[in-house]
C-alpha cells in the first residue's frame, strides 16, 4: 500500500492489514469494483469481519472504504525531489534510487527496522508504514535473536535466511544495540540503510546507503526542539511515495 493511503495503522491487526492491503492492490491495478466477497475469499476471512474492520476505521461500510481509498489515490499530491532536498543533507538522487531498488528487490523478503530511544519510535513508524504497504518487516526484534529463533545450526541458518535489507536509525551512529544488529545483518549479507546525523560515524561506515539528516560534526548535545526524528519520518515517507509512483 502506498503513501497515498492514510490509516492509523496501530488500529489494524495482522489480518486487517492484509485485507486493507488486498483492497489497495485491487485499486492500484484498476480493479476498484472488487466485491467484498472476493476480498474476503482472498484473505480467508468473512464478509462480516471486513464490515467490522471498516466500522472500526470510521467508515460506513465496505463501499465507503473503497470509495475513500480511490479518492485518496486520485487526489494524492505528487512527491518531488525538492522536498527530499530540504530533508536530507547533500541530497543525492542516485542514493534515493538505490534505496528504492532495495525495496523492489526485497519486497517479498523479511526486512528489519531498528532504533533505540526516540529513534525506536521512528523505527516503529517506518515498520508500520512498510507493513501496511505489504512488506514483511520486523521491529523491536533483535536481528541476532531472530536468527536464533529461525535456526539452531549454522547450516540451517544459511539455508533458511535470505538476505534482504535492514534500516537503522541512530542520531550519533554509535548506538551499541543498533550497531550489534547491523553487524549481525551484514554477516548474513543484508543491505544496510541508515539515517543518522553523523556522516563519519561507525554506523555510516557500515552502511551501504547513509542518509544524513541535520548533519553535524560536533558531539551531540540534547536540544529542544530536535527535528531529526521528524525529518527522518518525512524523508522516508517521501521515498516510499516515490517507490509506489515508479512501480
Q: Write down the mean pLDDT value for the chain.
A: 82
Clarify whether residues 59 and 93 are in a common domain: no
Looking at the structure of the chain, the number of domains it has is: 2
Residue 15: give its domain's CATH number.
1.10.10.10
The answer to whether position 115 is within a domain reads yes
HEC per residue, 12-38: CCHHHHHHHHHHHHHHHCCCCCCCHHH
What would the pLDDT profile of 174-203 be if each residue is shown by its tens digit?
999 999 999 988 988 999 999 999 999 999
Shared domain for 114 and 162, answered yes or no, is: yes
How does residue 206 score in pLDDT terms, banded at 50, 70 and 90? very high
Using alpha carbons, list the distances in angstroms from residue 148 to 50, 143, 151. 36, 9, 5
Query: Residue 37 above 90 pLDDT?
Result: yes
Provide the edge-to-edge strand list for the sheet that holds 136-139. 136-139, 110-115, 165-169, 191-196, 209-212
Same domain, yes or no, for 180 and 125?
A: yes
Q: Are residues 162 and 240 in the same domain?
A: yes
Q: What is the largest CA-CA distance in the chain?
A: 58
In a domain, 1, yes or no: no
4 pLDDT above the threshold of 50: no
Q: How far is CA 64 from CA 4, 36, 43, 129, 146, in A?
A: 17, 12, 20, 23, 40
Banded pLDDT at 220 (limits 50, 70, 90):
low
**Each residue of 77-101: pLDDT tens digit?**
555 566 888 899 989 999 999 999 9
Mean pLDDT of 55-63: 88
Last residue of a domain, one of 75, 100, 120: 75
Same domain, 35 and 128: no
Q: In which band, very low, low, confident or very high, does the pLDDT at 76 lie, cut at 50, 70 and 90?
A: low
Q: Based on the domain organization, do 120 and 137 belong to the same domain?
A: yes
Asked if 151 and 233 sit in the same domain, the reply is yes
Expressed as residue numbers, the domain containing 18 is 9-75
**Residue closest to 214 by CA, chosen among 227, 233, 201:** 227
Is residue 168 included in any domain, yes or no? yes
Query: Is 209 contained in some domain?
Result: yes
Are 34 and 87 found together in one domain? no
Residue scoring higher pLDDT (233 or 13)? 233
Task: Note the pLDDT tens digit of each residue in 105-148.
Answer: 998 888 999 999 999 999 999 998 888 888 888 887 655 455 54
This prediction's pTM: 0.64
Once rounded to an integer, what is the mean pLDDT over residues 21-49? 87
**Average pLDDT, stretch 55-75?**
81
Contact 128, 11 (CB under 8 A): no
Q: Are 25 and 137 in contact (CB under 8 A)?
A: no
pLDDT at 121: 92
Amino acid at each position: 500500500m502506498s503513501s497515498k493511503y492514510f490509516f492509523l495503522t496501530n488500529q489494524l491487526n495482522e489480518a486487517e492489514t492484509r485485507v486493507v492491503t488486498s483492497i489497495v492492490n485491487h485499486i492500484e491495478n484498476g480493479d476498484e469494483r472488487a466485491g467484498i466477497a472476493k476480498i474476503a475469499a482472498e484473505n480467508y476471512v468473512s464478509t462480516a469481519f471486513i464490515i467490522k474492520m471498516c466500522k472500526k476505521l470510521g467508515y460506513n461500510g465496505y463501499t465507503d472504504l473503497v470509495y475513500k481509498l480511490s479518492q485518496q489515490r486520485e487526489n494524492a499530491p505528487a512527491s518531488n525531489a525538492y522536498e527530499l532536498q530540504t530533508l536530507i543533507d547533500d541530497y543525492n538522487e542516485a542514493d534515493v534510487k538505490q534505496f528504492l531498488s532495495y525495496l523492489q528487490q526485497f519486497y517479498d523478503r523479511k526486512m528489519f527496522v531498528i532504533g533505540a530511544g526516540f529513534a525506536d519510535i521512528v523505527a516503529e513508524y517506518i515498520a508500520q508504514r512498510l507493513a501496511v504497504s505489504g512488506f514483511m518487516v520486523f521491529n523491536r526484534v533483535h536481528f541476532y535473536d531472530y536468527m536464533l529463533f529461525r535456526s539452531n545450526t549454522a547450516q540451517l541458518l544459511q539455508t533458511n535466511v535470505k538476505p534482504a535489507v535492514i534500516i537503522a536509525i541512530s542520531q550519533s551512529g554509535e548506538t551499541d544495540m543498533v550497531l550489534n544488529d547491523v553487524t549481525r545483518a551484514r554477516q548474513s549479507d543484508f543491505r544496510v540503510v541508515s539515517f543518522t546525523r553523523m556522516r563519519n560515524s561507525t554506523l555510516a561506515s557500515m552502511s551501504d546507503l547513509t542518509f544524513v539528516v541535520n548533519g553535524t560534526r560536533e558531539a551531540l548535545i540534547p536540544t529542544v526542539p530536535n527535528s531529526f526524528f521528524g525529518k527522518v519520518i518525512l524523508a522516508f515517507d517521501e521515498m516510499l511515495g516515490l517507490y509506489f509512483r515508479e512501480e
